[in-house]
A and B are shown apart, each in its own frame.
Chain A
Amino acid sequence: MTTLLKVQGVCKAFGGLQALSSCSLNVEKGTIAGLIGPNGSGKTTLFNVITGYVKPDGGSVTLADQDITGAPSNKVFALGIGRTFQITRIFARLSVLENMLVATQRDESWLRGLTRSKSSKSEVAAAMEWLDFVGIARLAALSAGSLSFGQRKLLELAYILVADPDVILLDEPAGGVNLTLLNGIAEKIRALNKSGKTFLIVEHNMEFVMNLCDNVTVMHQGADLVTGTPAEVRSNPLVLDAYLGGSEVDEAEEAS
């Protein structure tokens, strides 16, 4: 198995807050990797560093042996990492189909975009196919702002997929989603994984993570604490400690 996405010793501080301190992570090709940890442990910051929204203070991010540390977000997307956001971010005043069309080209020059029409037939076909895959094709002509929360999650997943990235980063795909839809999303992720896509998923829903992921990394205070199979992670005392908080003595020692 080859490592597709490699994060090594990434650090990031926001003022006095050390959001990430020497965090490392490997995502193997063709797997579904999970990323869990208590609130504020730096999961989303790590996502932001990987996808170019936040420049790290130190460390490196490599995708298939190519260094992408600090690359701008459109470049990261062009190289094949797509991500969704914890709070869905869609283009509310564009139609659902137009939302898809924004993402159809991973790395097109802006000059080409200037001279060609909004979409080609094949792009529309691909967009409709992925909308159909997530089950919202019938909403294609609606303005995206009128979608429900769950539908927005599906749309976000669909427009990541339409660009055919190699690695897909999902930030809380299960957050605020009803159980039926949740099972649907898990199914889609499995199907996509079978077809060769690699996933890295941040999630608080333990059942969802443990059932879906091949590997789970636990983050704590900006660093990776434990990595292993769901079973290993579940039985690791360090993990319990991180989630329930260390003893007061420990914290007092750390503070001093």
Chain B
Amino acid sequence: MSRLKYGWWLPLLAAFVVFPLVEKNPTYTTIGVFTLIFMGCAASWNMFSGYSGYINLGAAVFYGTGAYTMTLLSNHLHVPGSGDQFWLVPVGGLVAMIVALPFGLIALRVRRHTFVVITIAIFFVFQLSAINFSFTGGTSGLSLPLIPWLVTNFNTPFYYIALGIVIFATLLSFAVRRSRFGLQLLAIRDDEDRASGLGVKVFAVKLTGFVLSAFAIGMCGALYAVFEGQIYPQFVFDPLFDISIALMAIFGGLGTLVGPLLGALVLESMQQYLTLQFSNSSLYLVLFGALFLFIVLFMPQGVVVYVRDLWTRHSLASDDDSTSMDPALSGSTLS
């Protein structure tokens, strides 16, 4: 069973590694980079919000912080546009974590729905600050040192770094899922007061998860800044970013390992493709709306959970006549 469970990761990973070697058209590799950036964000976001049930609609704060950290540092440290900026990507993640600490200390004082509202409020505080402070360049944004690479190969390093972040975020989610800390997050999702009554230090656990999830999102923001070469507050602190990654995770399956990755893969590549094809940057919102109506109505737990349930039912049905199968023990082997 476990070979069946993990065996398909490897060919999938191989496909991602090979993609830029096969596909040389920069239009499509650009879509690849954006898709991977969102996969990293969605996976990392899910590690806190999916596991704990605390839907964070202020994750763009981490993303924007990463982007501004990258931009300000590479400008002030005079990092040449030669790819040396990539060393600052983890710094973007770390600064995002530092910002996440007071953010979490405030927002996590309240529960559930109120938490969602507070995260949105804090998000706007950051967006407005970025627009109004002078060191952020205001609405005209900031530009980074130009990278003088050829168009044909420009995307490749970004692609592989983004892939690295996705792998990191996925492995971290996996490790958290298997750790005691992850179990405590899941217990908080199901019944926070009960968890506290069983010895779980709920506030510390929530705050740790929140801060931890900021790292990969901050790195993605930092990478995005280098990739674009120019950042604007309304694009790095973008409310649509918050909603998008939440929807990606919900689409694939909130709290599952694969769900957010699948959600980001499908939705982000679709969005990029539609934007390119019809040169209309908000057409995707219409499609997203319809898609989510469908998901919420027919697969409320997300695609991954839906397919898994189908599979479990199928394998239970085919094993029906073999008496050795104890349904009591087979229930959660696929989860």
With contacts A72-B196, A98-B183 known, is A118 near B191, CB below 8 A?
Answer: no
Q: Does A77 count as interface, using CB distance less than 8 angstroms?
A: yes
Q: Does B186 count as interface, using CB distance less than 8 angstroms?
A: yes
A112 proximity list for chain B (CB < 8 A): 180
Among the 9-residue stretches B67-75, B95-103, B197-205, the one with 4 or more Cβ atoms under 8 Å from chain A is B197-205
263-303 of chain B: CB within 8 A of chain A: none
Among the 9-residue stretches B10-18, B236-244, B324-332, the one with 4 or more Cβ atoms under 8 Å from chain A is B324-332
Would you call the interface of chain B mostly helix, strand, loop, or mixed? helix
Q: Give the CA-CA distance A139 to B327 in the complex, in Å.
A: 10
Cβ of A106 to closest chain B Cβ, rounded Å:
5
Smallest Cβ-Cβ distance to A115: which chain B residue: B179
Q: Does B193 count as interface, using CB distance less than 8 angstroms?
A: yes
Contact status A105-B199, CB under 8 Å: yes
Q: Does B187 count as interface, using CB distance less than 8 angstroms?
A: yes
Residues of chain B whose beta carbon lies under 8 Å from any beta carbon of chain A: 178-184, 186-187, 189-191, 193-202, 204-205, 208, 328-333
From the candidates A72, A82, A94, name the one contacting B187 in the complex (CB within 8 A): A94
Contact status A77-B190, CB under 8 Å: no
Q: Give the CA-CA distance A116 to B194 in the complex, in Å.
A: 22
Q: Does A20 count as interface, using CB distance less than 8 angstroms?
A: no
Contact status A141-B328, CB under 8 Å: yes
B190 proximity list for chain A (CB < 8 A): 90-94
A142 proximity list for chain B (CB < 8 A): 328, 331-332
Contact status A103-B328, CB under 8 Å: no
Q: A74-B200, A119-B180 are in contact. List 9 more A-B contacts (CB 8 A).
A: A74-B199, A77-B197, A77-B198, A82-B198, A90-B190, A91-B191, A114-B180, A141-B328, A163-B198
Contact status A51-B180, CB under 8 Å: no
A108 proximity list for chain B (CB < 8 A): 180, 199
Q: Give the CA-CA distance A109 to B200 in the complex, in Å.
A: 9
Encode contact with B along A203-223: 1 for CB under 8 Å, 0 otherwise. 000000000000000000000
Q: Give the CA-CA distance A102 to B330 in the complex, in Å.
A: 21
Q: Does A89 count as interface, using CB distance less than 8 angstroms?
A: yes
**Total residues of chain A contacting the partner, CB 8 A:** 46
B201 proximity list for chain A (CB < 8 A): 74, 109-110
Contact status A78-B194, CB under 8 Å: no
With contacts A74-B200, A116-B179, A163-B198 known, is A89 near B328, CB below 8 A?
Answer: no
Contact status B199-A91, CB under 8 Å: no
Enumerate 13 A-B pairs (CB-CB under 8 Å) in ascending A order: A53-B197, A72-B196, A89-B194, A90-B194, A101-B183, A102-B200, A105-B199, A109-B201, A110-B208, A114-B181, A118-B182, A138-B329, A141-B331
From the candidates B194, B195, B199, B204, name the one contacting A107 in the complex (CB within 8 A): B199
Contact status B187-A74, CB under 8 Å: no
Cβ of A89 to closest chain B Cβ, rounded Å:
4
Contact status A103-B198, CB under 8 Å: yes
Smallest Cβ-Cβ distance to A81: which chain B residue: B197
Contact status B197-A94, CB under 8 Å: no
Contact status A159-B331, CB under 8 Å: no
Contact status A93-B197, CB under 8 Å: no
Contact status B205-A110, CB under 8 Å: yes
Q: Does A143 count as interface, using CB distance less than 8 angstroms?
A: yes
Q: Does A8 count as interface, using CB distance less than 8 angstroms?
A: no
A62 proximity list for chain B (CB < 8 A): none
Q: Give the CA-CA distance A52 to B199 in the complex, in Å.
A: 12
Cβ of B312 to closest chain A Cβ, rounded Å:
12
Q: Give the CA-CA distance A180 to B183 in the complex, in Å.
A: 34
A159 proximity list for chain B (CB < 8 A): 198
Cβ of A117 to closest chain B Cβ, rounded Å:
6
Q: Does A29 count as interface, using CB distance less than 8 angstroms?
A: no
Encode contact with B along A65-109: 1 for CB under 8 Å, 0 otherwise. 000000011101110001101000111111100100111011111
Cβ of A166 to closest chain B Cβ, rounded Å:
14
Which 5 pairs across A and B sit closest by C-beta, in order of nearness? A91-B190, A113-B180, A103-B198, A110-B204, A89-B194
With contacts A113-B205, A143-B331, A143-B332 known, is A118 near B199, CB below 8 A?
Answer: no
